[in-house]
Amino acid sequence: MKEFMLIFRNEKPADALPSAEQMQAMMSLWQKWIKNLVDQGKFSGTNRLLPEGKTLKPGNVITDGPYLESKEMIGGYLIVKANSLDEAVEAAKSCPNLLYGGNVEVRAVMPIDSDAKSGTFLNEKEAALS
């Protein structure tokens, strides 16, 4: 099986945050969705991203916050195992992020071969081009 990253994006939050009850309901949906992926043997890993961050730009320019120039924020990601991009998209269709107006980007993860330990990060296709 291949690995695919599901990237969870939402519009920047408004000033009003969800109530404790709303947060609990959302977390329950996420837990059920992830448990379903685990039960299917498709779950590989996940993390949430905190809103605090810095962006480093060329010339060592550092700005506060990763979303200064964006209307969307990345809230987290999840790695799923699937046989194809279409299968990974099917797994993403039931993601709770979609229920709250967010979106899910599905991207194939390119494994880095064992040469990565020596500092060589090219896969076979990239090596053939160089």
Which residue matches tokens 């924020």?
Answer: 73
Tell me if 33 is assigned to some domain.
yes
- CATH for 45: 3.30.70.1060
Residue numbers of the domain that contains 46: 2-12+23-111
Residue with tokens 């599905």: 106
| Residues 25-82: tens digit of each pLDDT | 999 999 999 999 999 999 999 988 887 888 888 999 888 766 555 677 788 999 999 9
Q: Is residue 118 part of a domain?
A: no
Residue 90: predicted pLDDT = 97
Residue 75 has a pLDDT of 84
Alpha-carbon gap, residue 50 to 91, rounded angstroms: 24
Q: What average pLDDT does the chain have?
A: 84
Instruction: Report which of 105, 84, 91, 108 is spatially closest to residue 7, judged by C-alpha positions.
Output: 105
